[in-house]
Amino acid sequence: MKFYHSYCDIISFLGCAENIDLEKVDAVYPCLANEYYLKLIDTGNLADDPIAKQIIPDSRELNDCDSSYDPLSETEQSPVPGLVHRFVDRAVLLATGRCAVRCRFCFRKRTWTNGGETLPDIDDSGLIKICEYLRGKQEIREVLISGGDPLMLPFERLKKIILELSKLDNIEIIRVGSRIPVVWPQRITTEISDFLGSVPGLWFATHFNHPREVTAESVEACSLLVKAGVPVINQTVLLKGVNDDPTILEDLFRRLIKIRVKPHYLFHVDPVRGVRHFATGIECGLDILRKFRPRLSSLAVPAFAIDLPEGGGKVALQAQYRTADEFRDIFDCKNIIYPDA
Ligand code: SF4
């Protein structure tokens, strides 16, 4: 796969006109994309294209100087390098800083900002320390392998991390969090899917944001995982100008359940520096949920969640329905009164 490591290279590949201001953004938050994902862009509509908006810089990224790079306090909640332990029964292993594309809305943008924090690949000694910590915390039952994107590691390294975690008696669930099926689906081979399918308690969490990302190639990648017996779930980030529209999200979620990928979370974008122009406001997400209620199978509806600042954790939000008027609005029919106790 061919990768493009700067705004200028990406624009030249797309054959579009350069915007000199965006080179300044590239100098702070460097661009990265690959040929597969770039080919999904409609170059005739670059400014409004939902794929382009996810990887082409925006001058508003530099306007935000007040927000934190780490509002979720991951750095403070890291007991050993490469591990975040926030919730009682779960921990996040940051396996690598590499990604197949750099998403402009990334909540770990601090790890790829020029001059900022870096996330090295976890080596053997780092892995030993992480496993020692996990062994000493018997209440931890689930490890999310994240990054960066763990599928960017050489397969043998990823395999070693997963096998070492599987040896820990207390770890019942291993969740691999990866955007690879969306941004580099050809990377999912039978060798990888068969291995992942052979690990008891392993789940795969991927990250589709728009129905145009559900291509023949990404369907094939997800099918390999599903056929190998890996449960695949999806998290979507609600992004202004990309997918903040119930019709677009309905289309995405219907396509996903058809290929047996369960929409798990719809996240409101985190208040991270350089990302805030993507924020829709929480009410927008709740409104989308309300519109889904009468139309969409519960299989297709994800939980809408926010991640509280200062390491407060995830909170799933629900649209409220308490009165006859609200019930009527859902189904657009006669007044219905629930016979409450
Ligand atoms: S693939 Fe994930 S970790 Fe990498 S830039 Fe995109 S959102 Fe961030």
pLDDT digits (tens, 9 = 90+) for 131-168: 999 999 999 999 999 999 999 999 999 999 999 999 99
Instruction: Give how many domains the chain has, as a whole number.
Output: 2
Q: Domain check: are 167 and 268 in the same one?
A: yes
**Are residue 4 and residue 120 in the same domain, yes or no?**
no
Dist CA 103 CA 284 (whole Å) = 22
179 CA: nearest ligand 1 atom? 1
Are residue 56 and residue 91 in the same domain, yes or no?
A: no
- Give the Cβ contact number of residue 306 at 10 Å: 18
Q: Which amino acid is at 195?
A: F
> Which phi-psi region, left, alpha or beta, contains residue 260 (left: φ > 0; alpha: ψ -120 to 50)?
left
Give the structural domain span for 17.
1-63
Name residue 172's amino acid.
Answer: E
pLDDT at 324: 64
Same domain membership, residue 91 and residue 29? no
Ligand 1 pocket, 83 CB below 6 A?
no
Distance (Å) of CA 275 to CA 10, 109, 303, 310, 333: 20, 8, 22, 17, 41
57 neighbors 112 (Cβ within 8 angstroms):
no
Task: Answer yes or no: do 221 and 300 share one domain.
Answer: yes
Which of ligand 1's atoms lies nearest the C-alpha of 183? 1
Per-residue pLDDT of the chain (341 residues; tens, 9 = 90+): 999 999 999 999 999 999 999 999 999 999 999 999 999 999 999 999 999 999 999 999 999 888 999 888 888 999 999 999 999 999 999 999 999 999 999 999 999 999 888 999 999 999 999 999 999 999 999 999 999 999 999 999 999 999 999 999 999 999 999 999 999 999 999 999 999 999 999 999 999 999 999 999 999 999 999 999 999 999 999 999 999 999 999 999 999 999 999 999 999 999 999 999 999 999 999 999 999 988 899 999 999 999 988 877 889 998 877 666 666 666 665 667 777 77
Q: Is 339 part of a structural domain of the chain? A: no
Element (H, E) at 296: none
- Residues 185, 38 within the same domain: no
CA 104 – ligand 1 centroid, Å: 8
Nearest residue to 220 (alpha-carbon basis) of 251, 267, 184: 184
pTM: 0.95
Q: Which CATH number do you get for residue 177?
A: 3.20.20.70
Q: How far apart are the C-alpha atoms of 249 and 263, rounded to whole Å? A: 10
- Same domain as 123, residue 22: no
**Whether residues 135 and 206 fall in one domain:** yes
C-alpha of residue 102 to centroid of ligand 1, in Å: 6
> Do 58 and 107 fall into the same domain?
no
d(CA 26, CA 47): 17
Q: Is 214 contained in some domain?
A: yes
**DSSP reduced 3-state for 341:** coil
With respect to residue 341, please indicate whether it lies within any of the assigned structural domains: no
Cα 85 from Cα 148, distance rounded (Å): 17
Pocket perturbation via mutation, ligand 1, pick of 99, 209, 236 by most ligand atoms within 8 A of CB: 99
Q: Going by CA atoms, what residue is nearest to atom 7 of ligand 1?
A: 106
CA 314 to chain centre: 14
Give domain status of residue 164, yes or no: yes
Same domain? For 37 and 118 the reply is: no
Dihedral of CA atoms 3, 7, 13, 19 in degrees, nearest 10, equals 170
Same domain, 316 and 267: yes
CA distance 71 to 66: 11
Alpha-carbon span 310 to 74, nearest angstrom: 9
Give the chain's length. Answer: 341
Q: Give the pLDDT confidence of 79-98 residue by residue, as tens digits.
A: 999 999 999 999 999 999 99
